[in-house]
Each structure stands twice: as structure tokens, then as C-alpha cells.
Chains A and B, each alone.
Chain A
Amino acid sequence: MSHDHAFFIALSYGVTAIAVIGTIAAIMLDHRRLKKALAAMGVTVAARDDGQHLD
């Protein structure tokens, strides 16, 4: 494995890992913030809102 090949492989997998983990983190943080905001408004997240299920 010549030196620069290893560098490019590592860089590629590194960038991919950052992109994937970043996306996962962003989505989970967004989820937590939304649940907190909904809870603050007195609505449990899984509350069945049959009334307006086609909101």
C-alpha cells in the first residue's frame, strides 16, 4: 500500500464517515428539539390526534 494511496483511502472513508455521522446527529438533535418543544406545549408525541389525522 504505497503511502499516498493509503492517504486517499483514509480521506475518502473519513469524509464519508463525517457526512453520515453528521447527518445522523443532525436528525437526532432535530428530533430531540421537536419533542422538547411539543412537550412544552403539553402534547405527548405519540398522542393520537385522530381528529385531524390529515393535518
Chain B
Amino acid sequence: MLRFANPSFVLRFAARAIPIFGALAALLLAVGLYLVFFVAPADYQQGETVRIMYIHVPAAWLGMFAYMVMASAALGTLVWRHPVADAAQKSAAPLGAMFTFVCLVTGSLWGKPMWGTYWVWDARLTSMLVLLLIYLALIALWNTIEEPQRAAKAAAVMTLVGLVNIPIIKFSVDWWNTLHQPASVFKTSGPAIYGSMLWPLLIMAVGATFLFLALHLMSIRNEILRRRLDRLTRLAASANDMPRTARFEAAQ
């Protein structure tokens, strides 16, 4: 496991793993989409819009999966303090935010035909909205603290504090929802999932997971390069007699 602490090893591993994950993601998503549109039955109650479930649910899972990845990277930062964990943590946040955002938008569009409006403060969607806020706050934290080590440590602690709070938030939002809404008109826990619907959903979910892993590795690679560029720029600045002028557009 320690070999992963070496950025150069990670760069080489990423160079091999990214194409594989990317290809797997593309293949699975293609098969999944085919199944979703040509094989899976419409729902007797909702009709065709149930097909939105096949991206809404995987996006929700990925939103939470990304947080778990970020939290474990946060542990890596706090316990082993190696920079690849910082990179993994920092690059997981935007991806998690993207999947959570997709989950919210597709959830809102899926609900529109039934609710009549784009947004009802439904318990699960509201919890995902709070998760998105946590992601955006962590991204803002990364953008504000310039010094990499300090930013990583602050984000790590906040991520773990967030991890502890997510179940509490989920519970309190559910309680808040039932408190104000005696019987929710239509529980969007989704229709009962039959075998014929389950397979496309699982394929889409696994495909999305590989997509996340590929994007995550690509982002980690970028973070390693960014930190290396940052270090070389500082070296170039302090070395008084630089052979070549160092060109550096703000890569932040």
C-alpha cells in the first residue's frame, strides 16, 4: 500500500489504469443505455419517465460513493500524511458534487410529471441537496487555503466531521419531512424493481462507478502535476540565476 504514496508510481499506475476503467465504463454504459431504452419495460404507474431512474439512482449512489472515497482519502491524509491522499481527497470533491448535482436535476425532472412542480422538498432529494452543499463548501475550502498541506488537513477533518453528520442529517431531514407532510402524495422511493429493471440499473451503476474511478484517477494525476509545477515554480523563483525564464500561467 505504501507504494501508492509515491507520486511517480501513481502516475505510471494511472497511465495504465485510466484507459482500462474508461473503456469498461464506456462499454457498460453503452450496454446499459441500450437495455434501458430498448429492453426495460415502462412502469405501469409512471409510464416512460421511469427510465430517468436509470441515471438518477446511479448518480445518487455515486454521490455517496464519492464521499466515501473522499473520506478514506481524508484518513490517508491525517494518518499517513502522504500527498497522494491529499490529491485523491481534493479531486474527489468536484466529481462527487457533479454526480450529486446530476442526481438532483434528474430527480427534479423525474418528479415534475407527478408533482406538477420541479421541486418538492422530498426527504431523499433534500438530503442529497444538503450533501451537495457539503461538497461545494469543501471545494470552496480547497480554493481558499493556498498552502497545500494546510488545506489538505483542514479539508480532511471537515470531510470526516461531515461523514459523521451525514446519517444525522439524513435522519433529521426524514423526520422533518414526515413532520410537515402527513402522507407524502407519491413516495418517490421508486416503483418496485423487477428483475427486468434491476439488470439495467445495476449495469448503469457499475458503469458509472468505473466512470468515476477513471475521472478520479485523471484528476489525481492532474493534482500531482499541479503540485509538482507549483514546487518547480517556487524553486525557479528562489534560484537567482535561472537558465531559462520560467513561464507560469496561474494553473490554479
Contact = CB atoms under 8 A, between A and B. Distances in A.
B52 interface: yes
B228 A20 contact: no
Contacts of B105: 12, 15-16
Instruction: Describe A's contact surface by its main secondary structure.
Output: helix
Contacts, number: 115
B52 A12 contact: yes
Contacts of B98: 19-20, 23
B51 interface: yes
Nearest to B33: A13
Contact of B51 (A9, A48, A52): A9
A24 B228 contact: no
A41 B225 contact: no
Nearest to B12: A46
Interface in A23-44: 23-24, 27-28, 30-31, 33-35, 37-38, 40-43
Instruction: Describe B's contact surface by its main secondary structure.
Output: helix
A6 B6 contact: no
B222 A31 contact: yes
B229 A31 contact: no
A41 to B, nearest CB: 5
A43 B51 CA distance: 49
Contact of B225 (A8, A13, A23, A35): A35
Given A20-B211, A38-B228, A41-B233, 14 more contacts: A8-B49, A11-B109, A13-B55, A15-B105, A24-B215, A28-B218, A31-B222, A33-B249, A41-B236, A41-B244, A41-B246, A41-B247, A53-B5, A55-B227
Interface of A: 1-2, 4-6, 8-9, 11-13, 15-16, 19-20, 23-24, 27-28, 30-31, 33-35, 37-38, 40-43, 45-46, 48-50, 52-55
